[in-house]
Chains A and B, each alone.
Chain A
Amino acid sequence: MAGRKWLLEPDFLVERDPDRCIQCQVCVRQCANDVHSYDADEEVVRSDSSTCVGCHRCATLCPTGAVSIRRAQLEFRPHGSWTAHALRSIYKQAETGGVLLAAMGTDRTHTVTWDHVLLNASQVTNPSIDPLREPMELLTHLGRKPDRVEFHKGDARKVVTKLEPQLALQVPVMFSAMSYGSISYNASLALAQAAKEAGTFANSGEGGLHQDFRKFGGSMIVQVASGRFGVDVDYLNTCAAVEIKIGQGAKPGIGGHLPGQKVDAAISATRMIPEGTDALSPAPHHDIYSIEDLSQLIYAIKEATTYTKPVSVKIAAVHNISAIASGTVRAGADIVVIDGYRGGTGAAPTVIRDNVGIPIEFAIAAVDSRLRQEGIRHQASLIAAGGIRSSADVVKAIALGADAVYIGSAALVAMGCHLCQKCYTGKCNWGIATQDPYLTRRLNPDIARRRLVNLLQGWALEIKEMMGGMGINAIESLRGNREHLRGVGLSDRELTILGIKAAGE
């Protein structure tokens, strides 16, 4: 077992039912981690659990259901503090001496506050609405709204107030930033196509926009991050909106690093960096050390796009988030994206992913409250990101004060991701987080696009059902409508920050 770390037991146990296995070797051909192999002498397929990441690719494709994957059964003596996770982390670190890497959102079992918030429904005193019989509006406009509406002095029917550029969403769910490089060409293509088809927006991430995707510019938000990869005036003008990425929920305060081996000819052209070089995103923008500096970049982008596109600023949910968001709005951001600590990533130090930041539920509620108190809530739209798993989470996020949400992990899961959290290895068996030509072809963008559109369609129907139950017929009436939320199992302080009552009140 070459390469096996001697103190590390396998994470998973691969079991093969000999009565069901037909030795067809589909599993052998599908595993990029070399778990399965065919012994030609004995004419039998064998499995070595030591490198299994639990991605289920083999089990999903096995035509007879012969393969099953379980958590490793080797149990440590139970210990409340020294958990298996803590022990394994130390074994791994003692072996390698490096920073432990992780991917996707944190897998730690901190409270998921969405699950402690419940929705209202109409009974007797106010009628619920049947969304299949009556119109139900999900259309959402993102961007700066005017302070007041002014009418023409001579003709009161004419509005003279000029509306700042807006993004129109048919469903209040967008695909969050995932760069071409961190995910494959096919995955990026599917996201762009699905956004266009569903009437929402996909986000290029910080890796530039491939020439092939420029035709989807009307459905794309492009990112300007600390590495400034692929940014030029065409890039800014080809899209629907520009997003300045300050932080990411999975790794607030940390930059990014796309290893050189993933930077092939196409990615090098898209990112505008030499082929084979590491793409390093610094932790800060080196030209942004204050709100005033942020304002300069926002207005530089607005100048470059002749004030035709909303400029968004994405910040990670951290302590004092409401003050930071307030400053961001005052700096001129038209959209503020807040990425909670359960947000995903292609690679982050595990210790950062699991310990830094605050949950999106509290961040979005605190920011919405603060902006309302300051009378500037209308100056920017709020996007909640990081850990949105279902249409119920979307409704709760909007009722807590968001205008719309970003989904990243949920979109990847719709495309086939099984959350094995090994994106950083570049060996994604589902063809999503990889640039290996053997693996990228596994994601047929036609299928992925269809699945993404289905997800958004399903969520839109469910959101309408939930709104109808509350007696609300437009998503705008739900925004910040915390009267429709009740908390269970939350402390008084938590309820106060969320701005919601306890169940029964």
Chain B
Amino acid sequence: MKRIVAREEFCIGCRLCEVHCLVQHSKSRKIIKAFRDEREKVVPGIKVESSGHVSFALQCRHCGEAPCIEACMTGAMARDPETGVVLSDPDKCVGCWMCIMVCPVGAVARGANQQVASKCDLCIGVATPVCVANCPNEAIVLEEDDE
């Protein structure tokens, strides 16, 4: 499957990936409207971590052996059999946060309503995830993984 790879040496810490992720996962998908009306309602699935001049964009690695899927007691966290993408089903999630506890990279967050888990879905239905498409320095790239 395709995975997003962060190239930390070129991350400029602008956080445009977070901005575009939020817009993509908003209802309107219009940047100004999304930020005006839905800023508190959507949690971006990508987060820029930084320390000094070093920064990189972090999101779900869609692990081959995903601890979050193992830990999920309701089956909300599951792998899409076709794409291999790990997705959280909000209808099944009960907010026990075990996925957050076990995620080795800290890529799962509580959703804006604080009730269900929220994470990167690799932009379902979009050829190139918006964070990759909009990174001004190609610090996030989509690469085919042989796994």
Using a CB–CB cutoff of 8 Å, the interface residues on chain A facing chain B are 19-20, 22-26, 29-30, 61, 63-64, 436-438, 441-442, 444, 446-447
Contact = CB atoms under 8 A, between A and B. Distances in A.
A439 to B, nearest CB: 9
B15 A441 contact: no
Contacts of A19: 32
Contacts of B14: 26, 29-30, 61
Interface of B: 9-16, 18-20, 31-32, 35-36, 39, 53, 134, 136-139
A441 B138 CA distance: 11
14 contacts: A22-B19, A22-B35, A23-B35, A24-B16, A25-B15, A29-B12, A29-B13, A29-B15, A63-B20, A63-B134, A441-B11, A444-B138, A446-B138, A447-B138
A430 B76 CA distance: 44
The 5 closest A-B pairs by CB, nearest first: A22-B35, A437-B53, A438-B53, A444-B10, A444-B137
Given A19-B32, A63-B16, A437-B53, 10 more contacts: A22-B39, A24-B15, A26-B14, A26-B15, A29-B12, A30-B14, A63-B134, A438-B53, A441-B12, A441-B137
Given A64-B31, A441-B12, A442-B137, A26 B19 contact: yes
Contacts of A63: 16, 19-20, 31, 134
A45 B136 CA distance: 21
Given A24-B19, A437-B53, A442 B32 contact: no
A30 B39 CA distance: 22
A26 B48 CA distance: 12
A20 B32 contact: yes
A29 B53 CA distance: 11
B35 A24 contact: yes
Chain B CB count within 10 A is highest, among A19, A24, A25, A438, for A24
B16 A61 contact: yes
A248 B101 CA distance: 62
Nearest to B137: A444
Nearest to A23: B35
Contacts of A24: 15-16, 18-19, 35
A26 B18 CA distance: 10
Contacts of A22: 19, 31-32, 35-36, 39
A441 B53 contact: yes
Contacts of A26: 14-16, 19
Contacts of B32: 19-20, 22, 64
Given A22-B36, A63-B31, A441 B10 contact: yes
Contacts of A446: 138
A25 B16 CA distance: 9
B100 to A, nearest CB: 25
Contacts of B139: 444
B9 to A, nearest CB: 6
B43 to A, nearest CB: 15
Nearest to A62: B16
A441 B6 CA distance: 14
A447 B137 CA distance: 8
Nearest to A66: B32
Contacts of B138: 444, 446-447
Contacts of A23: 35
B45 to A, nearest CB: 16
A277 B9 CA distance: 27
Nearest to A437: B53
A442 B12 contact: yes
Contacts of A61: 14, 16, 136
A442 B12 CA distance: 6
Contacts of B9: 441
A441 B137 CA distance: 9
Contacts of B10: 441, 444
A19 B36 CA distance: 10
A442 B53 CA distance: 11
A155 to B, nearest CB: 58
B91 to A, nearest CB: 30
A26 B16 CA distance: 7
Contacts of A444: 10, 137-139
A441 B31 CA distance: 27
A28 to B, nearest CB: 10
Contacts of A20: 32
A444 B9 CA distance: 9
Nearest to A63: B19
B57 to A, nearest CB: 13
A20 B30 CA distance: 12
A438 B134 CA distance: 20
A63 B10 CA distance: 19
